Amino acid sequence: MGREEQIIEERLRKLKELKTKGIDPYPHKFDRKHISSQLQEKYAKLKSDAKTKDKVKLAGRIITKRDMGRISFASLRDGYGNIQIIFQEGETPKEAKDFFKKYIDAGDYIGVSGEIIKTKRGELSVLVKGLEILSKSIRPMPEKWHGLKDKEERYRKRYLDLIMNPEVKEVFLKREKILDAIREFLKKRGYLEVETPYLQTIYGGAESRPFKTHLNALDMNLFLSISPELYLKRLIIGGFDKIFTISRNFRNEGIDRWHNPEFTMMEIYEAYTDYNNMMDLFEELYEYVAKKINGSTKVKIHGHVIDFKRPWKRIKMVDAIKEYANIDVSKMSEEELKKICNKEGLKVKEDSWGRYVCAIFEHFCEAKIIQPTFITDHPCESAPLCKGLRNDSICKFVERFEPFCLGTELGNAYSELNDPLKQKELLEKQEARLSKGDLEANPYDRDFVTAMEYGMPPTGGVGVGIDRMVVLLTCQESIRDVLLFPFMKQEKEDIIK
């Protein structure tokens, strides 16, 4: 029998003994009166080796335990921090001290009552007068220094990661503050938060392969949302002028440093604006949130000091290719671009001048864009929901931008196409690509085109990758560090067939 099995067996023995004695190791509630952070703040100026008669009652998990005979120490952690508890002969009732020594292990939840003191070493503590077990743990926690260090295991067992690495919790507390700051920024400017369906009969709004499911009640296939875009545009058509949604998107695509099949995206739409307005809004949003969360527009991440202060660099895609790759695509034919792509082994969805340009930009340029930069005026083939560039009679480019930072895209924005006839034509082309095997193309959404035929005002729209924003503003390594439960490949024994 291994060491862990021995510990589990011993804890099960304790559990059985407690029940035999009529002690419930899993009571229904505990009347907690105090939390660790409030006590640490209130008694911060208490002198070392000082005693008070102040009564407190708190609860939490035992993280460490040291028995030194006449006195025992433990670190108690609640949802707000840690505090030391002390069981001392002559001060703590013998029954409570013996119970702690005999039945309580690291990992157990307990409730204690006692008096506030500060040790000679200056550590705020609770001199325990009463003890109640609240939850008996069966499995031992990983050893502090040799236990939960493997990243994959930490993501897979986030509950243990949070227990053993409390600094991880701070990332997610900060994530919540980021979301609060985003909402504060937009609502101050008159934007209304709305909701769109996650289950959709027709998916659209992005080039991505969807997840498919089935609704038994109506015996019909459904898709998890890849984007809220087409529903938000319906709301613009319906008369909402300034709207946003923060939603989950589901895309059946790869998993890497910046991608997870399930992620959080915010989309913002405003009538009577265009992509220039959305660029202003995007950089204002990032600057506002960075200052609100970090007190500065600068962050140090992945060996770089990134500054989100406005204004950001703005450069057309063809000019970016010339600057970062020394290739002047504006003077090249489709055949010349194809040769470059073939030489580099680049996969292109379809033969077209614009698709080759996008592939060349992605291959040669993206990784070189470190500071916040707007890449504007993309080839028309890249965006079937976007207006063509002004004064571009042959529609070679569209009014689209993508903001980049640290070599990755932070969002996507258009001057939204509002010509229903042109929209119908472009969506029909998408469906034709889908029927030919392009699984990232969109099906034809008849109701969306019908809605557009009632009239849609000029509109600017922008999508903001929330998870990527959190990665940058909390200075983490990857998207998996800012998702409480990132997608992980199942272990064999957990697979349901």
Spatial neighbors of 139 by CB under 8 A, at least 6 apart, are 4, 7, 8, 11, 107
CA–CA dist 473, 470 (Å, integer): 5
Do both 114 and 174 map to the same domain?
A: no
Do both 193 and 87 map to the same domain?
A: no
Do both 281 and 134 map to the same domain?
A: no
Instruction: For the chain, 497 residues long, give each residue's pLDDT as a single digit of tens.
Output: 788 999 999 999 999 999 999 999 999 999 999 999 999 999 999 999 999 999 999 999 999 999 998 999 999 999 999 999 999 999 999 999 999 999 999 999 999 999 999 999 999 999 999 999 999 999 998 875 445 667 888 899 999 999 988 899 999 999 999 999 999 999 999 999 999 999 999 999 998 999 999 999 999 999 999 999 999 999 999 999 999 999 999 999 989 999 999 999 999 999 999 999 999 999 999 999 999 999 999 999 999 999 999 999 999 999 999 999 999 999 999 999 999 999 999 989 888 999 999 999 999 999 999 999 999 999 998 888 899 988 766 679 999 999 999 999 999 999 999 999 999 999 999 999 999 888 889 999 999 999 999 999 999 999 999 999 999 999 999 999 999 999 998 776 665 55
Do both 127 and 50 map to the same domain?
A: yes
Do both 134 and 193 map to the same domain?
A: no
Residue 225, domain member (yes or no): yes
The residue among 141, 158, 175 that closes a domain is 141
Do both 114 and 200 map to the same domain?
A: no
Look up the CATH number of the domain holding residue 135. 2.40.50.140
Domain count, the chain: 2
Q: Which residues pair with 43 in a beta bridge?
A: none
User: CA-CA distances (angstroms) from residue 368 to 303, 310, 323, 365, 429?
Assistant: 14, 20, 10, 5, 33
Four-residue CA torsion sign, 303, 305, 307, 313: negative
Residue 336, domain member (yes or no): no
Spatial neighbors of 53 by CB under 8 A, at least 6 apart, are 115
**31 near 56, Cβ under 8 Å?**
no
CA–CA dist 332, 340 (Å, integer): 11
Look up the CATH number of the domain holding residue 450. 3.30.930.10
Residue 147, domain member (yes or no): no
Enter the DSSP assignment of 93: -
Question: Which run of H or of E encompasses 293?
Answer: helix 275-294
Do both 289 and 424 map to the same domain?
A: yes
Residue 157, domain member (yes or no): no
Do both 285 and 429 map to the same domain?
A: yes
Question: Which run of H or of E encompasses 119?
Answer: none
Residue 338, domain member (yes or no): no
Which strands sit side by side in the sheet containing 220-224, from one edge to the other? 199-200, 220-224, 212-215
CA–CA dist 457, 233 (Å, integer): 10
Residue 333, domain member (yes or no): no
pTM equals 0.92
Q: What angle do helix axes 353-364 and 317-325 make, rounded to 10 degrees? A: 40
The residue among 123, 141, 159 that closes a domain is 141
**76 near 58, Cβ under 8 Å?**
yes
Do both 298 and 431 map to the same domain?
A: yes
- Please give the residue range of the domain that contains residue 88: 3-141
Do both 254 and 394 map to the same domain?
A: yes
Residue 278, domain member (yes or no): yes
User: CA-CA distances (angstroms) from residue 376 to 83, 241, 276, 306, 313?
Assistant: 53, 24, 10, 21, 10
Do both 123 and 68 map to the same domain?
A: yes
Do both 259 and 123 map to the same domain?
A: no
Compute how many other C-beta atoms are within 10 angstroms of the C-beta atom of residue 264: 20
Q: Which residues pair with 463 in a beta bridge?
A: 267, 412
Coil, helix or strand at residue 395: coil
CA–CA dist 383, 355 (Å, integer): 11
